[in-house]
Chains A and B, each alone.
Chain A
């Protein structure tokens, strides 16, 4: 059978070997390979690694958090040691190496363009071709005497194990979903339990995703604040700026609450909010906020004085929570393309109309 993935034998090429251990604290010296030094991954994380992780969790420098692709060592591996394949996103490599204390293994980082395993597999940068190419380029057959490589299970949407075997001679075994289980997987003779094979999305993972949601919406928070200040200046007049700012701030609170609720509370309470569709979950939360806004309208002078503006808020707030909740679909582990497409097509036009209508009402309330 002719294969789509045929790659001829390649000359040895290991970008990782060019790393200078002196300036890269995550590298702990080198081990000798048949074609020269192979950098050894440190199995502990230092302050800089933790700071880097915190930054990318906030969405800072996420696209440039990369390690050179190629071959690495962990511990003191030899010809019989297992080969673990991973992505070249630094956060991924950090999670893997910090799970491998006391393990002797080889690590092959494919060139996933600095993207994590699951997303890269979906996008095709962590794919069958790239894996086979790396195994050939690193002359793996001369490094180890066995013919097995271990792939992260979540690479399976990009990597076809039977194709890797056919074209590289290496049996590709899918390991556990989480790096934390790799050690147990190795110890048990490459047996993954159901637990190891299942993707979870617990409260801790959901919490970890909230900072980046907030950062991504900073722009909208500022635009809304600016809009509120302008609105208040027109309402209270330009002579008393302090009053205008205080009025704006009070009027801004329901809006910023809608954004923060959608970015933090919706992810955290996700399975407990009624309905399956994220847009519907967001709508529920928005309507609850509407009830609060109507209840406390006397405390917000802009709303106390204008039924039109109050109506605008009650339309805008559910639109915000619906859109931002829908936005969170991409961060979860359990949404399908068909499902998200269905709810996006249903909710997006309505949310757009709602936003347009609320802006129109707000402008009319200024004129009247």
Chain B
């Protein structure tokens, strides 16, 4: 059974102007949310994105932007408590 998480919150953005269709994002995405069609990447299933940043980090053209963070409540609570970045 496929796990489904909260809808319409993910910060992932793809700038197709910059995309050269190199498929790096497709390779690294752990949840397989990209496809390349007509030499451009497309986001197929944005709600499955976990904002790990693998695609952004490996895009040589800076076409992907995402607010990277860990999906961990303890990290978020600790971050808020210490006034720092979320940290486990």
> Chain A residues in contact with chain B, CB under 8 A?
119, 121-122, 153-154, 156-162, 174, 177, 192, 194, 197-199, 201, 270-272, 276-278, 326-327, 329-330, 332-344, 348
Closest to B25 in A: A156
A122's partner among B11, B58, B70 (CB-CB below 8 A) is B70
Chain B residues contacting A197 (CB-CB under 8 Å) are 27, 29-30, 32
Q: Are B86 and A337 in contact (CB under 8 A)?
A: yes
A159's partner among B1, B57, B68 (CB-CB below 8 A) is B57
Closest to B60 in A: A162
Closest to B87 in A: A123
How distant is B5 from chain A, measured CB to nearest CB, in Å?
5
Extra 18 A-B pairs, beta carbons < 8 Å, given A334-B50, A343-B6: A122-B68, A153-B28, A156-B28, A156-B55, A157-B57, A159-B57, A160-B58, A192-B27, A197-B29, A326-B73, A330-B71, A330-B73, A330-B75, A334-B3, A335-B5, A335-B50, A338-B69, A342-B6
Chain B residue total in the interface (Cβ 8 A): 41
How distant is B85 from chain A, measured CB to nearest CB, in Å?
10
Decide if the interface of chain B is mainly helix, strand, loop or mixed: loop
Q: Are B54 and A156 in contact (CB under 8 A)?
A: yes
Q: Are A340 and B27 in contact (CB under 8 A)?
A: no
B43-76 contacts to A (CB < 8 Å):
48-55, 57-58, 60, 67-76
Q: Are B31 and A157 in contact (CB under 8 A)?
A: no
How distant is A2 from chain B, measured CB to nearest CB, in Å?
15
Chain B residues contacting A330 (CB-CB under 8 Å) are 70-75, 88
Show 18 residue pairs from A and B whose CB-CB distance is below 8 angstroms, ordered by the A residue: A119-B88, A154-B54, A156-B58, A157-B53, A197-B27, A198-B30, A199-B30, A329-B73, A333-B50, A334-B71, A335-B5, A335-B50, A337-B68, A338-B69, A339-B6, A339-B10, A340-B71, A341-B69
How distant is B84 from chain A, measured CB to nearest CB, in Å?
13
A177's partner among B11, B30, B51 (CB-CB below 8 A) is B30
* Cα A333 to Cα B71 with chains together (Å): 9
Complex interface bits, B1-36 against A, C-beta within 8 A gives 1, otherwise 0: 111111101110000000000001001111110000
Chain B residues contacting A159 (CB-CB under 8 Å) are 57
Q: Tell which of B24, B50, B51 has the most Cβ of chain A within 10 Å.
A: B50
